[in-house]
Amino acid sequence: MTPAARISAAIEVLDDLIQRRRPASDALKDWGLSRRFAGSKDRAAIASLVYDALRRRASSAFAMAAETPRALVLGMLAGLRGLSAEEIALLCSGENHAPMPLDAEEWGRLAAFSLDGAPDWIGADVPEWLWPAFAAGFGRDAVGEGQALAGRAPIDIRANRLKSSRDALMADLSHASPEPGAWSPDALRFQPGHDGRGPSLQAEPSFFAGGFEIQDEGSQLVTLLAGAQPGQTVIDLCAGAGGKTLALAALMGNQGRLFATDLDSRRLAPLHERLARSGATNVEIRIPRSRGHEPLIDLAGQVDLALVDAPCTGSGTWRRNPDAKWRVRPGALAERVKDQAEVLARAARLLKPGGRIAYITCSMLPDENDEAIRAFLARHAGFAAVPLTQVLASTEGDFGLLARFATEFGLQLSPHRTGTDGFYLACTQRIA
């Protein structure tokens, strides 16, 4: 396919996902299945165009004075990829599956591409209804935070201490130009190419051997700062596919007991294979038998650390899932806050005196972060917030600089601040 034909295909995919309000991955998959002529490079290029258009959906629509799929793609080519109006016009010839030629208004808006006079939520490419909550967390830095979330994400990996090290992986993966992570002692980073794609790391022999896992550096960091120690009894209460479970096992050096569970047992399915590859031997997966079943009831009062990777809106991962921010609907935030209160209450029942809850979200919204902790402490008199200075005091490295990103109860990471996904961490301790 020609570059122009790929642009036409991206417009078509965008039209499908917007009209049917479906995930971009589903729309892209269906498009590829119905057009077998498109090769893997074509599909990857089209996916990159679609995701880039979604990253800048609000700003492109404003600059182009239209929110059609065509306007979003053309605006993205100018606003994100930096193409001139002349370069875009050459791609829009209307011939050989290329988009139709630019009209006079499109030409003018592309030539003058500007966000002058745009509301802050448009400049930040954040949904309008979420903007008040987003802005409350970042104040005058909110637009810059939103713009960073609208960028492309790098690929981070976590060296699995049970089988390898960061230095060993630096040498093994040198052909892919790794960079050491800025915060996590186990992180390596790979920058995306011009097309937004990174290296195929999951095809590397060291991946199959269990030497590393794909994991954002922010996720690595908040898991490390949760404070799991060898010999403890630790639970990952919302384990999902097990990224943080595997990191905890490595931090504990396979010493102690580590339990992984999730209310949605289907999400745990990939963890079995990942555990076998990782070399982790101290992990027990507990699968709930029903919605109301507590598979960890036998551990009540015995747990040193409950890691709560709480269900949330996922606003901190918008770089990786740009369509998610436009699909989330008013009412979803209230539902997630309710879910967070329930899972925190579950964790509280399992802790022993002196035990700690490490509350984590991949959210940038105070409603899901500090406000969730405030509400938890109001309902549970036997708990107190752990000061951030204690959370950051780790033998794993000097994390004092992160104190700049303190919130009332915890720590807020973000692409703009730390170059990571937007993770929040707050720790509370059972004192009675």
* Residue at which a domain ends, from 214, 235, 250: 214
State pLDDT tens for residues 248-274.
Answer: 999 999 999 999 999 888 999 999 999
Query: Residue 61 class from Cβ within 10 Å (0-12 exposed, 13-18 middle, 19+ buried)?
Result: middle
State pLDDT tens for residues 150-169.
Answer: 999 999 999 999 999 999 99
> Is 193 a residue whose pLDDT tops 80?
no
Place of tokens 């908040």: 222
Q: Does residue 179 contact residue 199 with C-beta atoms inside 8 Å? A: no
Residue 136 lies in a domain: no
Q: Is the Cα dihedral 323, 329, 330, 334 positive or negative?
A: negative
Residue 142 lies in a domain: no
State pLDDT tens for residues 330-385.
Answer: 888 999 999 999 999 999 999 999 999 999 999 999 999 999 999 999 999 999 99
Residue 169 lies in a domain: yes
State pLDDT tens for residues 289-302.
Answer: 877 788 999 999 99
Residues 227 and 190 in one domain: no
Q: Which two tokens stand for residue 358?
A: 């490490």
* Residue at which a domain ends, from 72, 98, 118: 118
Split into its structural domains, the chain has a count of 3
Strand partners, 383: 430
State pLDDT tens for residues 100-129.
Answer: 999 999 999 999 999 999 999 999 999 999
Residues 114 and 161 in one domain: no
Residues 237 and 204 in one domain: no
Give how far the C-alpha of residue 223 lies from the chain's centroid of Cα atoms, to the nearest Å: 14
State pLDDT tens for residues 63-93.
Answer: 999 999 999 999 999 999 999 999 999 999 9
> Is 392 a residue whose pLDDT tops 80?
yes
183: containing domain = 155-214
> Is 431 a residue whose pLDDT tops 90?
yes
Question: Catalytic site residues?
Answer: 362
Give the Cα separation of 82 and 80 in Å (integer).
6
Average pLDDT over residues 304-315: 96
Residues 199 and 226 in one domain: no
Residues 268 and 333 in one domain: yes
* Residue at which a domain ends, from 181, 214, 247: 214
Residue 195: its pLDDT value, please? 67
Residues 282 and 423 in one domain: yes
Residue 333 lies in a domain: yes
Residues 226 and 318 in one domain: yes
Average pLDDT over residues 297-321: 96
Which region, left, alpha or beta, applies to residue 410 given φ > 0 means left and ψ of -120 to 50 means alpha? Answer: beta
Among 227, 209, 199, residue whose Cα is nearest residue 360? 227
Residues 68 and 110 in one domain: yes
Kindly give the residue spans of alpha helices, DSSP state H, lying in 65-174.
69-79, 85-91, 104-111, 120-124, 131-138, 142-149, 166-172
Residue 111 lies in a domain: yes
Specify the amino acid at residue 303: V
Residue 36: its pLDDT value, please? 75
Residues 201 and 248 in one domain: no
Residue 216: its pLDDT value, please? 97
Residues 321 and 392 in one domain: yes
Average pLDDT of the residues of the chain: 94
Instruction: Count other Cβ atoms within 10 Å, centred on residue 295.
Output: 16
Residues 350 and 243 in one domain: yes
Residue 416 lies in a domain: yes
The verdict on whether residue 16 carries a ligand-binding annotation is: no
- Indicate which CATH number applies to the domain containing 233: 3.40.50.150
What is the four-CA torsion angle of 328, 419, 360, 321, rounded to 10 degrees?
30
pLDDT confidence tier of residue 237, bands split at 50, 70 and 90: very high
Residue 396: its pLDDT value, please? 87
- Indicate which CATH number applies to the domain containing 173: 3.30.70.1170
> Is 397 a residue whose pLDDT tops 90?
no
Residue 124 lies in a domain: no
Residue 385 lies in a domain: yes
Residue 205: its pLDDT value, please? 96
Residue 301: its pLDDT value, please? 95
Residues 162 and 97 in one domain: no
> Is 197 a residue whose pLDDT tops 80?
no
The verdict on whether residue 262 carries a ligand-binding annotation is: yes
Strand partners, 214: 157
